[in-house]
Structure 1
Amino acid sequence: MNCFQCCMSEEKITRKSLKKSIKEYHDTKTLASFANISFKTDSSRRKYIAEEIAKVGKGNISAQIFAFRELCVATNNFHPDKLIGEGGFGRVYKGKLDGTEQVVAVKQLDRNGFQGNREFLVEVLILSLLHHPYLVNLVGYCADGDQRILVYEYMANGSLEDHLLDLAPGKKPLAWNTRMKIAAGAAKGLEYLHEQANPPVIYRDFKASNILLDENFNPKLSDFGLAKLGPTGGKTHVSTRVMGTYGYCAPEYALTGQLTTKSDIYSFGVVFLEIITGRRVIDNNRPTEEQNLVTWAQPLFKDRRKFTLMVDPLLEGKYHIKGLYQALAVAAMCLQEEAATRPLISDVVTALEYLAVDGEADDTNGDGNV
Structure 2
Amino acid sequence: MGIKFISPLILLSLSFAFFHCSLATHPSTLERGSSLSVEQHEEDVLTSPDRAFSCGFRKVGTNAYCFSIWFTNSEEDAVVWTANRDAPVNGRGSRVSLRRDGKLALTDVDGSTVWDTNTSYAGVSTAELLDTGNLVLKDRDGHVLWQSFDSPTDTLVPWQPLTKGKRLVSPIAKGARRSGYYTLYFDNDNVLRLMYDGPEISSIYWPNPDSTLYQNGRSNYNSTRIAFLDEKGNFHSSDGFKALASDLGVGIRRRLTMDYDGNLRLYSLNESTGTWSITWEALSQICNVHGLCGRNGICEYYPGIRCSCPPGYEMSDPADWNSGCKPKFNLSCSNHTQQQLHFIELQETDYYGFDMSTYSTMISFEACRNACIQSCDCRAFGYRLAGNGLCFPKSSLFNGYKSPNFPGSIFLKVPISVVSSSSSNQSVVTCNSDGSTVTTSSSLRYGNNRSNTKWVYLYGFAASLGAAEFLFIFAGWWCIFRGRDTTKSVEEGYRMISRQFRRFTYRDLREATGKFKEELGRGSSGAVYRGVLDDKRVLAVKKLTDVMEGEEEFWAEVSVIGRINHMNLVRMWGFCSEGQHRLLVYEYVENQSLDKYLFGRADSGSSLGWNQRFKIALGTARGLAYLHHECLEWVIHCDVKPENILLDRDFEPKIADFGLAKLSKRDGPGFNISRMRGTTGYMAPEWALSFPITAKVDVYSYGVVLLEILKGSRVSDWVEADGTEKSLRSLVAELKEQLGGSDESWVRDVVDHRLRGQFNHEQATAMVKIAVSCLEEDRSRRLTMNEIVKLLIACGEKDADRI
Equivalent residue number for residue 323 of structure 1: 763
Structure showing the higher helix proportion among its residues: 1
User: What residue in structure 1 maps to residue 527 of structure 2?
Assistant: 91
Look up the match of 2:793.
353
Task: Give the deviation of 1:332 after TM superposition.
Answer: 1.1
Gaps of 5+ in 2: 1-203, 209-215, 217-234, 251-279, 285-499, 664-668
- Output the CA distance in 2 between the equivalents of 1:14 and 1:356: 37
For residues 259 and 59 of structure 1, what CA distance do their matches in structure 2 show?
23
Q: Which of 238, 241, 259 is the matching residue for 2:671? A: 238
Letter in structure 2 aligned against 1:66: F
1:267-315 C-alpha deviation (Å, 9 max, x unpaired): 1111111111122133497456456555434313311442322111222
Structural RMSD (CA):
3.5
Matches within 5 A, 1:94-173: 94-98=530-534, 100-110=535-545, 115-118=546-549, 121=554, 124-165=558-599, 167-171=600-604, 172-173=606-607
Q: Deviations over 1:133-158 (max 9, x none)?
A: 22211111122343322110010111
Secondary structure at the counterpart of residue 282 of structure 1: helix
1:5 match:
none
- The residue aligned with 2:503 is 65
Aligned pairs for 1:284-299 within 5 A: 286=721, 289-290=724-725, 292-293=727-728, 295-299=730-734
The percentage of counterpart residues that share the same residue type is 35
- 1:335 paired to 2:775: yes
- Larger proportion of strand: 2
Q: Secondary structure at the match of 1:143?
A: strand
Q: Distance in 2 between matches of 1:298 and 1:201?
A: 31
Q: Equivalences for 1:260-279 in 2 at 5 Å?
A: 260-279=694-713
1:26 paired with 2:245, answer yes
Whole-Å separation in 1 of the counterparts to 2:526 and 2:724: 33
- Does the 8 Å CA contact 2:503/2:574 hold for their aligned counterparts? yes
CA distance in 2 between partners of 1:279 and 1:168 (Å) = 11
Query: Distance between the aligned counterparts of 1:151 and 1:168, measured in 2?
Result: 30
Contact 1:240 1:257 in 2 (8 A): no
Q: Are the aligned partners of 1:281 and 1:294 in contact in 2 as well (CA < 8 Å)? A: no
Deviation at 1:317, TM superposition (A): 1.1
User: Using a 3 Å threshold, how does the CA distance of structure 1 residues 285 and 325 change in structure 2: closer, same or farther?
Assistant: closer
Distance in 2 (alpha carbons) for counterparts of 1:211 and 1:195: 19
Q: When the two structures are aligned, how many residues end up with a matched partner?
A: 311
For the residues of structure 2 that align with 1:346 and 1:13, how far apart are their CA atoms?
26
Compare CA radii of gyration and give the structure with the larger one. 2
SS in 2 for 1:93: strand
Structure 1 pair 319/159, CA: closer, same or farther in 2 (3 Å)?
Answer: same
Looking at structure 1, the residues matched to 698 and 614 of structure 2 have their Cα atoms a distance apart, in angstroms, of 18
Q: What CA distance in whole angstroms lies between the structure 1 residues aligned with 2:548 and 2:603?
A: 41
Equivalent in the alignment of 1:40: none
Specify whether residues 85 and 303 from structure 1 end up closer, same or farther in structure 2 by C-alpha distance, changes over 3 A only: same
Aligned mates of 2:798, 2:609 — CA distance in 1 = 14
Counterpart for residue 174 of structure 2: none
3-state DSSP class of the match of 1:141? strand
Larger relative contact order, structure 1 or 2 (CA cutoff 8 Å, min sep 6): 1
Deviation, structure 1 residue 78: 2.1
- Judged with a 3 Å threshold, the aligned counterparts in structure 2 of structure 1 residues 335 and 278 are, in CA distance, closer, same or farther, namely same
Rate the CA distance shift 1:239–1:72 in 2: closer, same or farther, 3 A: closer
Which is worse superposed, 185-194 or 87-96? 87-96
CA distance in 2, matches of 1:23, 1:261: 25
Q: CA deviation at 1:256?
A: 2.8
Deviations 1:63-96 (A, max 9, x none): 32212222232222222xx322223333222221
Structure 1: how far apart are the matches of 2:519 and 2:628? 33
Query: Match of 1:170, SS?
Result: helix
Shift of 1:27: 7.0
Q: Which runs of 5+ in 1 are unaligned?
A: 1-11, 32-55, 230-234, 363-369
Q: Which residue of 2 aligns with 1:258?
A: 692
Match of 1:213 among 628, 647, 653: 647
Checking the alignment, whether the CA contact within 8 Å between 1:262 and 1:339 is kept in structure 2 is yes
